[in-house]
């Protein structure tokens, strides 16, 4: 699943003055909003560089030919 791969990857963060990596967390995708462009709206938590998390929305492909997620609800041609 594209969304799970995007949100659960390791992101660089700073802890106690050292650069380390922390995983994000996939929350949900809403397949009910699937539309003609093959993307669904997905939400997850992304670690912030200086600590904490923020909720992020990405539009991820649900067809084999649409790989990855984008911050825009459009598909490149």
Query: What's the pLDDT score for residue 34?
Result: 58
- Calculate the average pLDDT of the chain: 86
Q: Which two tokens stand for residue 75?
A: 């598909």
Number of domains in the chain: 1
Mean pLDDT within 51-77 = 84
Of residues 74 and 41, which shows the higher confidence score?
Answer: 41
Degrees, nearest 5: CA angle 41-76-66: 55
Structural domain containing residue 54: 2-65
Closest to 60 (Cα-Cα) out of 70, 51, 45: 70
The answer to the question of residue 72 being in a domain is: no
Angle at 46 between CA 45 and CA 51, to 5 degrees: 115
Per-residue pLDDT at 76: 65
Domain annotation covers residue 74: no
**What's the pTM value of the predicted model, to 2 decimals?**
0.79
């Amino acid at each position: 699943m594209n969304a799970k791969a995007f949100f659960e990857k390791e992101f660089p963060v700073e802890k106690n003055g050292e650069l380390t990596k922390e995983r994000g967390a996939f929350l949900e995708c809403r397949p009910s909003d699937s539309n003609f462009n093959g993307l669904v709206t997905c939400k997850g938590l992304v670690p912030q560089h200086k600590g904490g998390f923020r909720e992020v929305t990405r539009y991820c492909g649900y067809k084999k030919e649409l790989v990855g997620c984008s911050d825009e609800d459009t598909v490149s041609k």
